[in-house]
Each structure stands twice: as structure tokens, then as C-alpha cells.
Structure 1
Amino acid sequence: MFGTYFRIGIYGPKFGDLDEQEFVYKEPAITKLAEISHRLEGFYGERFGEDQVEVIKDSNPVDKCKLDPNKAFIQITYVEPYFDTYEMKDRITYFDKNYNLRRFVYCTPFTLDGRAHGDLHEQFKRKTILTTSHAFPYIKTRINIIHKEEVISTPIEVAIEDMQKKTQELAFATHQDPSDAKMLQMVLQGSVGTTVNQGPLEVAQVFLSEIPIDPKLYRHHNKLRLCFKDFTKRCEDALRKNKSLIGPDQKEYQRELERNYHRLKEALQPLINRKIPQLYKPVLQVNSHRDSFSRMSLRKLDM
């Protein structure tokens, strides 16, 4: 019943009034990016000629000056419904999350030197939030985009989002009803497995090994530290759940997961237990001022 959504941008004089217009398309839920790309390329290829249509493969902002004016260009990006934190309180059911949709989001990874992907400490992310003129479901399956907003996440903010996502996946797999042992083990392996590249331990070593020089990063550093505390607790819950689900043939596998978890926890311990003293100074200063102000007020009352 519900759909999959794609942002479609069309560029080139061949499109006439639609040049540089952007739309959100609603497709059946099983539609893949390659499928809609092939369909649109075929549709416009019949209209303008197969050699005159080109699909832009990435989701980066399009510089029209660099495009061939004799060709028709289509940019296709998978997007997801976007909700603010306060909206999630009312959008509880699957239906709630798929009805009255006007805002969509897609993310584009980038680095400052122009590469899409880099090391953890240089990996930025551009989150693009789109607003359509009407809400889905609608009588049409294509609606104009009327507003676009971009939010840039710094490397440490990207790390925070990634760790929050891993923690949510663990919580979902642990409390899934009915339980799915294969899903739980897959998520656990990705969380505590020693062979995971850019896994939790590497993230912690990159961002938590030293207190940042820039005071603006103190709160991000502290937030990531708390994310790791929550993450290790969820890992422990997941291991306990997995132990109750497995048979005798998987006991050795369970022990291996537990060993990996304890190694990870031991390595993380000194990183996530370190607090930033500077974060607590303003609180103490405010309290001291408040106390002195209270004493002065009392002294005046006594007089």
C-alpha cells in the first residue's frame, strides 16, 4: 500500500519549462533505484533520442554550466520521509509514518578536498531536506519540490549519528517480537566483531582519545561518549538475549561473541569514562553567583 520515494531533478533546454525543476516521485514499495532510472531513461530516450539522455549518477548539487546544453540530464536520488523529533511522538504506527508526507531527506557524504569518502576524521555529511507542495498520498504520484534546506554534519556529528543508528538497530533486534536469532546475530557481529572496518572501536579511538582543542566540540565529544555508554549496554542486552535463543550447536559462537564484547568494552573503558572538566565549570560558576546573590539578598532583608 505504501511507497518508496525518489527525488528526480531534470536539467537541460530540451525539457522546456521543466528545466531545473525537481520532483518527488512515489513508486511502489518494492521499486529499486536502478528500475526507475532505467524506466525514465527509456521514456525520455524515446522522446529526445537515446544518445541525448544522460543520467547523473551522484546526488551532488548540479552545476548547470558544466552540462552539455544539447542533452537532457536526469538526476535520481532515493529519499526517505523526514520527521522532526517532536513529530515522532505522534507518528507511532507504520501507517502514521507513511501518511501526510511532505518532507523528505537524503544524505550525501563528502570531504573538504572533494572526495566522497575519506577517513573518519575528515568525513562530512550533507543532509538535504526537501518540502513538496502537497502531501503524499496524493492524486498524483509526482509532486513539485518547493523548498530545499541543507544541513552540514561535521565528522564527529556523523560519528554520533552512526553510533545512535547502531544502538537503535541493537535495541530493535533485541526486543523484536517474535525474536529473530539470525537478525540479532548479524547485528551483534557488526557491533562487536573484531574484523569490522571503521567499527565502534576505531570511531572511539579517533574522536575520544583526546579532549578536543576547540571548546565548540566539547558537547559533541561528551554526547559521543554517552552514545558509547548506551551502545555497550545494548550490546550486553543483545548478548544475553542471543544466549537464550541459541541451541547447543552455537554455544562456541556465543562464547566468541562474548570474548569480542569484553575486549571491546575493555578497550572503550578509558575512552568513555573520561569527562571534560571544562563542561562543568560554567555550572559551578552560575551556582556560586546565585549563592552569593542569595546571601546578599538575605543580608539586605536582615537590615
Structure 2
Amino acid sequence: MYEAINGVYKILCPIHEANRDFKKLASVHGKLQDAFNKVYNQRMFGTYFRVGFYGCRFGDLDEQEFVYKEPSITKLAEISHRLEEFYSERFGDEVVVIIKDSNPVDKNKLDPNKAYLQITYVEPFFDTYELKERITYFDKNYNLRTFMYCTPFTLDGRAHGDLHEQYKRKAILTTSHAFPYIKTRINVIHKEEIILMPMEVAIEDMQKKTQELAFATHQDPADSKMLQMVLQGCVGTTVNQGPLEVAQVFLSEIPEDPKLFRHHNKLRLCFKDFTKRCEDALRKNKSLIGPDQKEYHRELERNYTKLREALFPLINRKIPQLYRPLPLKEIFHRALM
């Protein structure tokens, strides 16, 4: 809450100034300096988990979901062990069962004599318009009511499959109050699920890789090890289901379904942005390395050149239907709208 201190002292300072209370003014400005230093430095906020309760043994909690706020270094295994231990003391060791996945729970398949807990790591979720206002690290960790988690799946029931088979279920949770709150758990009052098709999953993955590249490139102070690790993951020749394979699977052919034209074009543009970010990252890495890493950098450049040449025909293949000129009648109609 260091960000709120300045606003409070803006009210108090004129009072101390009017009273000529310089001792208190000195104390206030000292506290402001400490607060601003804390704001400037990276701080550890909370980590969030969704906990679902299933089974009549939980009483009113049956089929209820909560978002728990934990210290930022808390791992999924830690909170799972703690809750399992807590409810085992209450119901018995043989009664409490932890559901290991994040798939939708079918109550008909559960043992009515047992108490089930489903624990999933969740992240704060922001709409695009919110990100324009939530600029700082504090903004993105304060007044949080919406959280998200993703579950990969395939149509035949497996969690993971080939790229063209990989779907993703995004669950967006809304809590009754915002974190931080006086309680460390808040109940979920609304849940929305969105199913992403394989091409949409590929778009999200490429956007994430591009964002990681941009972050590693512009990080201040620069971290050459992190930059090289991200670069290796993007242009390395041994990367399974890497960018080249994604492009070959989804961009080799124009989709037959017109509904996929926009997704195809969006993925193509994602790859253009991705290759530009790779160039920026290589340029940054070249300025950071010492003489002992020059050969490694040349290898990264060779791998990038091969990747760019392989991607070129794929990302420059446009769908004619998206770029044909509009009829004059339609242009006139849109102008009137």
C-alpha cells in the first residue's frame, strides 16, 4: 500500500505547514522517501489459487469455489499439502482426495463418502481496456477481482496432442470482493469458460513468445543469460513444437473454412512481429556478450537466418478474400453508417 501513502500525506502536510511543525514535516518526508524507494523496487505481492470443494461432507461448501491469496513464493504443492492436512484432521486421512487436474468435475463420478478438493493456480486477468490503465506492477496486483486459468485438452480426451489437435479451455473467475481484502479467501460468484481452437491456441502461444522476447530485450538492467535462454527457445533447432512447426502446421495451406481466415491472417502477422523481435533480441545480445560467447552468438544468428528463410514463404502468403477491394455499393453503405 506504499502507493497510497503520498495521497494521505498530501492532506496532512498543509496542516503541519500551517502549524510550523517542522519536526513532523521532516518525519513525513522521510517516510515518503522510504515509501517511494519501496515503490521503485520490485516487490513481492500475492500468488492466487482456485480451490473447489466437492462432496456432501463439506456441507454448504459443496460445489463452491474460492480464490485463495497466498504469499508470492507459495507453490501449488504447498497449498495442496496444507489443505489436505487441514481437512484430513477434520474428516479423516482416507476421506480427503485431491483432484490432480483442472478439468470440469463430474459429481456423478465422485464417491459420495469422500471429500474432494480441486486446487488450481490462477493468474489475475485483465481486459484489453484495463491494461491501458494498469501500467505499473502495483496496478496489476491491486484491486483484483477477476482471475483466469487454462486447461489444455483434445477432443479424444487426452490433455495434450499434436498442434492441430490441441484445444484450450480458459476459465475466467470473478470474486465477490477484490484483493487485497481482510480475508485471504474470497468466494467465486461468476465463472465463464472460453474454448480456444487449435489455431487460436497457436496465436496465443506466439504472442506469449513475442512478449517474452520483448521483455528480455528491453529489461533494465539487461540480463544476458535470460535473453540468451529466451532466444535459444525461439530460434534453437532442437525446439519441439517450436515456431517453425507451428507455422508449417497452420500456415502451409489456406484454411477451407472461411471462419478461420481471420485467425490465419492474425497468426501470419504474429509471426512477422515475432521475427522482428528476434532481430531486436539478437542485436541486443550482440552488444552484451564478451569475446568468449561470440561463436555462440554466431550460431544463434545462423539458426535465426534458417528460421526466417523457412518462414518467409509461409508468412507472406495472404488470403485473397481478405484483401479484395470492396464493391462501391458496400463502401458507400459503410460511409453512411
Q: TM-score, normalised by structure 2?
A: 0.85
Letter in 2 for 1:207: F
Residue aligning to 2:215: 172
* Counterpart position of 1:285: 326
* 1:114 partnered with 2:192: no
C-alpha spacing 1:293/1:211, structure 2 compared with 1 (3 Å): closer
2:194 to 148, 151, 157: 151
Q: Which residue of 1 aligns with 2:62?
A: 19
Match of 2:261 in 1: 218
Amino acid at match of 2:145: R
Structure 1 residue matching 2:94: 3-state secondary structure: helix
Q: Does 1:269 align with 2:312?
A: yes
Determine if the alignment matches structure 1 residue 82 to structure 2 residue 143. Answer: no
Distance 1:57 1:290, change over 3 A: closer
What whole-Å deviation, never above 9, does each CA across 1:126-156 have from its counterpart, x for those lacking one?
Answer: 0000000000000000111000000010000
* Aligned residue identity for 2:200: E
CA–CA distance in 1 between the matches of 2:308 and 2:322?
25
Which letter maps to 2:294? K
CA distance in 2, matches of 1:127, 1:16: 28
In structure 2, the residue matched to 1:200 is 243
Q: Give the SS at the match of 2:253.
A: coil
Q: Structure 2: which 5+ residue stretches go unaligned?
A: 1-43
Cα distance, 1:286 vs. partner? 3.5
Task: Show the counterpart of 2:227.
Answer: 184
CA deviations 1:30-74 (Å, max 9, x no partner) are 100000000000000000001111000000010111100111100
In structure 2, what is the Cα distance between the partners aligned to 1:44 and 1:292? 64
> What is the identity, as a one-letter code, of the residue corresponding to 2:293?
Q
Q: Does 1:255 align with 2:278?
A: no
Q: Which residue of 1 aligns with 2:38?
A: none
List structure 1 runs of 4+ shifted beyond 3 angstroms. Answer: 286-294
Distance in 2 (alpha carbons) for counterparts of 1:47 and 1:289: 69
Q: Give the CA RMSD over aligned residues.
A: 1.5
- Alpha-carbon separation, structure 2, partners of 1:18 and 1:291: 58
Q: Give the Å deviation of 1:289.
A: 4.9
Residues 271-280 or 194-203, more deviating: 271-280
Distance 1:293 1:134 in 2: 43
Aligned pairs, number: 292
Match of 1:42 among 66, 79, 85: 85
Amino acid at match of 1:182: K
- Rounded to whole Å, the distance in 2 between the matches of 1:14 and 1:293 is 60
How far off is 1:293 after superposition?
Answer: 12
1:60 to 103, 121, 142: 103
Q: Which amino acid aligns with 2:139?
A: D
1:124 equivalent to 2:167? Answer yes
Partners of 2:300 and 2:171 in 1: CA distance: 38
Could you say what secondary structure the match of 2:264 adopts?
helix
Superposed CA deviations along residues 135-186 of structure 1, whole A, max 9, x for unmatched, are 0000000111000000010000000000000000000100111000000000
Q: Which residue of 2 aligns with 1:31?
A: 74
- Quote the Cα distance in structure 2 between the aligned partners of 1:244 and 1:41: 51
**Percent identity, aligned pairs only?**
83
Shift of 1:2: 1.7
Separation (CA, whole Å) in 1 of partners of 2:333 and 2:179 = 58
Q: 1:285: how far off?
A: 2.8
Deviation of 1:280 (Å): 1.9
Partner of 2:15 in structure 1? Answer: none
- Aligned partners of 1:286, 1:259: CA distance in 2, in Å? 46
**Counterpart pick for 1:92 among 135, 143, 150:** 135
3-state DSSP of counterpart to 1:92:
coil
SS of alignment partner, residue 50 of structure 1: coil
Give, as a single letter, the amino acid of the residue that structure 1 aligns with 2:110: L
Q: 1:293 to 1:93 in 2, by over 3 A?
A: closer
Q: 1:228 to 1:133 in 2, by over 3 A?
A: same
